[in-house]
Each structure stands twice: as C-alpha cells, then as structure tokens.
C-alpha cells in the first residue's frame, strides 16, 4: 500500500493548508489569547483530567500560586500523555511557542511560561496565532447582555448565547439584566418578546451571525400554547416558584420566540444537545458535566418542524445519538450537522461519525469542526487533529471506498472546513 501512504501524505499536505472558519468557541474577545502558561494549563481539559487521574481539586484552585499549581498539575498530567487532549498542549506549545520537548514537565515549564508571557506582548498576537493556525474567523459566545463594542469583527464573529434567556428567566438578576440591555420593561409575554427582539437586533448590529444554545438531555421543545406561555411568563415575572409544566411552557416559549427571531433575521440557530450539568459534584470547575446515554433527539422535532426556514446546526454529546443525528441531517432540509463536540471530540469517535456522515449526508450540510476553545492557541491543535482524522477518513472511507476521487476529496475538505460555514452563516 505504498501508494496509499503517499495518497495520505498528499492529502494531508493539502488539507493542512485549507483555511478554516471556526463556528463555535468561548474565546473572550477582550483577551483572546493566553497571557500566561496558566491560561493554557487552566483549560478544563487539563484540570479535569489531572483531577481525574488523582490530583486533589484544591491543587488547581485559582488562589494557588503558579509555582505550586503548575508543577502539581504537570506531575498529574504525566498520567494523560496518552490522550489526544495532551497532544493539543504539546502541539500548540511546539508550534506557537517553540517548545521543544515531547513532554511538558516540572523541569521544562519555566522557559515555556516565559515564552507565553513574552509572545503575549507582541502586537497583533491574535492575528499571528490565527494565521499560523490557518483560521480565518472565530465565532464567539456572547451572553445577551454582553458589551459587543470593540469586538474586532475582522477576526471574530459575535454569537448570541441564549441559555440564560431560555433557562434563566426565573432569576431576578437575569430579568433585570435583560431589561437593562434591551431597554424594555418586562410586564408579560409581549414585552418579553420585544426584549428578545431588541437583544437580537443589537447583536445583528454588532455583526452577530448566529444564535446558540446548549440543551440538557431529555429536553422537549413543546409547541407552547399562547395562553400557557403568557401565564408562565407572568408567573416568572411575579417571582413564583414555577411548576414543571410552567417551566416547560416558559422555556419552550422563549426557545420558539428566539427561533422566530432567527427566521425573521435569517440567522442560523446552533443547538448543542445533551450536556447533563453538575453531575459530578466533586469535579473541578467546568469538569462536572456528562453526556447521557440513551437519549433521543425526538424532543427537538416540534422545533425543527415549526421552523423549516431556520437552519439548525446540531451537535450531540452522546455516541448513542450520533447515528440518529446523522439521519436528521439526511432528511431535514433545515438540519446541518456541526462538528464533534466535547466528549465526542476524540479521534476514534470523530472517525466513525465522520465516515458515516461523508457516506450518507449531503456534503453542503456538513460543518466539519469547531474548536469550542477558550483561548485561540487551542484552535491550531484541535483543528489539526481534525484535519488528520479527515484525511484518514477521506483516504479510507471515501477514496478507497470508491465514493470519489482525490480531487473531490479535497473539494469536500474545503466545504467541511470553510465554505459551508461561510454559506450557512452568510459571512
């Protein structure tokens, strides 16, 4: 199979050079890159895996000084050198900070820490990182009341994160923030919808290209009757404790109102389905959530059917739903399959999932990957991991399987990495 190895190498070289659009990240526009090594090592993948491997949660607490936290963490990370997550750290350190070792340890972290701090002072650092990573644009995740001024839209694309709106309206602080940021006094369902409209309008004005939400397992989007929704909103505004039915009516009502705004404004709706929050109570910060096997996307059908004109970019968290999601993308005109999320962002899972997507779903409906990163540096390593899996799958499951030529494989790569995102989000 010498040819096959050569084919892979040729494909890899090409695929590595394709610029990408990253449709989902948690990068803060004000400080998008690491100012310190701790900014990189503090990523929940490292703290949660170090904790899982045996490190006390306190060892990575924010108040611990670097000189204690970093060596303790690095010692624990020796237990995860086998993982893809660890490989991200090494690849970005090597590529962006000239780190030379294959392993980061107590003996060699200080020069790296100095390099991270020094590079952070270089002008245009964010652009430099993106260029080295061949990333064209990065979507942000912005809370509804976030100040969007000063976001550099040459690099970043704002995105309205709707979780607090759908799940937080029982909290008076959320309602107050919504009133303040929308300029609408909340008195009932009608004013709530006006406030949501004002939020979306403000986001559009700032260049937002999408609304996004993370839905818990078993979430059911019910077509809320107008009366039930009004009653639920009134109860929430009064500060009542809501019954489960009322909560459901409130949440679904807001979700549908947001979907209607997406329809009116031609914004795609990114839906990430299935994170069970705070399942592991002793876990580290951001390391407490889980997937939930056995779930079904069935609860989304009312939403998908009610808004055929809205493009829903769906991600799931559980392998038991991957093929179900594949089937949704296969028949629903308004469903796009997006990336490989979190616990499924592992080469083994990506390869199986991607193989099936490429073999059965229209190619214009596949957003290959997004980074989900908190600092720009990780985009490089995560997208490179994906590029390698993509090449592996294209060589074996597409070209070898007789589904297309090498040239078509490259055209497909460009769609998955860049072009579909540009078309779908109207960039």
| Window 338-377: residues binding a copy of itself (CB under 8 A) | 343-344, 346-349, 352, 355-356, 358-365
Query: Does 191 sit near a copy of itself (CB under 8 A)?
Result: no
The 3-class SS string of the chain reads CHHHHHHHHHHHHHHHCCCEEECCCCCCCCCCCCCCHHHHHCCHHHHHHHHHCCCCHHHHCCCCCHHHHHHHHHHHHHHHCCCHHHHHHHHHHHHHHCCCCCCCCCCCHHHHHHHHHHHHCCCCHHHHHHHHHCEEEEECCEECCCCCCCCCCCCEECCEECHHHHHCCCCHHHHHHHHHHHCCCCCCHHHHHHHHHHHHHHHHHCCCCCEEEEECCCCCCCCCCHHHHHHHHHHHHHCCCCCHHHHHHHHHHHHHHHHHHHHHHCCCEEEEECCECCCCCCCCCCCCCECCCCCCHHHHHHHHHHCCCCCEEEEECCHHHHHHHHHHHHHCCCEEEECCCHHHCCHHHHHHHHHHHHHHCCHHHEECCCCCCCCCHHHHHHHHHHHHHHHHHHHHHHHCCCCCCHHHHHHHHHHHHHHHHHHHCCC
Site mask for a copy of itself (CB under 8 A), range 275-304, x = bound? -x--xxxxx---xx-xxxxxxxxx--x--x
Query: Does 72 sit near a copy of itself (CB under 8 A)?
Result: no
Q: Which is nearer to a copy of itself, 258 or 399 (CB)?
A: 399
How big is the site for a copy of itself, counted in residues (CB under 8 A)?
Answer: 81
**Nearest approach, Cβ of 260 to a copy of itself (angstroms)?**
17
**Nearest approach, Cβ of 297 to a copy of itself (angstroms)?**
7
Query: Does 388 sit near a copy of itself (CB under 8 A)?
Result: yes
Q: Which is nearer to a copy of itself, 158 or 287 (CB)?
A: 287
Q: Which is nearer to a copy of itself, 329 or 379 (CB)?
A: 329
Q: Which is nearer to a copy of itself, 206 or 412 (CB)?
A: 412
Query: Does 324 sit near a copy of itself (CB under 8 A)?
Result: yes
Site mask for a copy of itself (CB under 8 A), range 233-262, x = bound? ------------------------------
**Nearest approach, Cβ of 226 to a copy of itself (angstroms)?**
21
Q: Which is nearer to a copy of itself, 243 or 359 (CB)?
A: 359
Query: Does 320 sit near a copy of itself (CB under 8 A)?
Result: yes
């Amino acid at each position: 199979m010498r040819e096959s190895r050569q084919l892979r190498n040729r494909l890899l070289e090409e695929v590595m050079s394709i610029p990408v659009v990253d449709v989902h990240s948690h990068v803060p526009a004000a400080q998008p890159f690491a100012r310190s090594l701790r900014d990189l090592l503090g990523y929940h993948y490292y703290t949660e895996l170090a904790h899982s491997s045996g490190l006390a949660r306190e060892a990575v607490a924010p108040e611990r000084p670097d000189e204690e936290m970093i060596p303790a963490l690095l010692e624990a990370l020796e237990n995860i050198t086998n993982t893809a997550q660890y490989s991200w750290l090494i690849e970005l350190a090597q590529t962006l900070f000239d780190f030379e070792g294959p392993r980061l340890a107590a003996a060699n972290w200080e020069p790296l820490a100095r390099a991270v701090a020094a590079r952070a002072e270089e002008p245009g650092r964010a652009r430099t990182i993106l260029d080295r990573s061949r990333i064209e644009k990065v979507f942000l995740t912005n809370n509804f009341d976030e100040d969007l001024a000063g976001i550099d839209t040459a690099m970043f694309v704002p995105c309205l994160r709707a979780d607090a709106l759908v799940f937080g309206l029982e909290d008076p602080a959320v309602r107050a923030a919504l009133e303040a940021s929308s300029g609408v006094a909340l008195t009932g369902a009608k004013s709530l919808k006006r406030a949501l409209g004002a939020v979306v309008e403000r986001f559009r004005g700032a260049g937002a290209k999408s609304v996004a939400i993370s839905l818990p397992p078993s979430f059911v989007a019910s077509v809320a009757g107008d009366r039930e929704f009004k009653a639920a909103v009134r109860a929430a505004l009064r500060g009542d404790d809501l019954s489960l039915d009322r909560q459901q009516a409130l949440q679904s009502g807001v979700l549908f109102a947001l979907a209607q705004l997406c329809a009116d404004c031609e914004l795609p709706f990114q839906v990430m389905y299935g994170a069970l929050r705070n399942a592991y109570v002793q876990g580290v910060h951001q390391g407490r959530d889980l997937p939930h096997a056995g779930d079904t996307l069935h609860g989304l059908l009312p939403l998908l059917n009610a808004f055929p004109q809205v493009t829903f970019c769906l991600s799931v968290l559980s392998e038991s739903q991957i093929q179900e999601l594949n089937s949704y993308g296969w028949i629903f005109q308004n469903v796009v399959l997006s990336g490989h999320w979190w616990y499924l962002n592992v080469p083994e899972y990506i390869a199986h999932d991607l193989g099936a997507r490429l073999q059965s779903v229209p190619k214009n409906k596949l957003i290959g990957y997004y980074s989900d990163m908190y600092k720009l540096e990780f985009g490089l390593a995560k997208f490179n991991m994906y590029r390698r899996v993509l090449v592996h799958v294209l060589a074996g499951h597409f070209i070898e399987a007789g589904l297309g030529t090498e040239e078509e494989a490259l055209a497909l790569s460009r769609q998955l990495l860049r072009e579909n995102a540009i078309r779908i989000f109207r960039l």
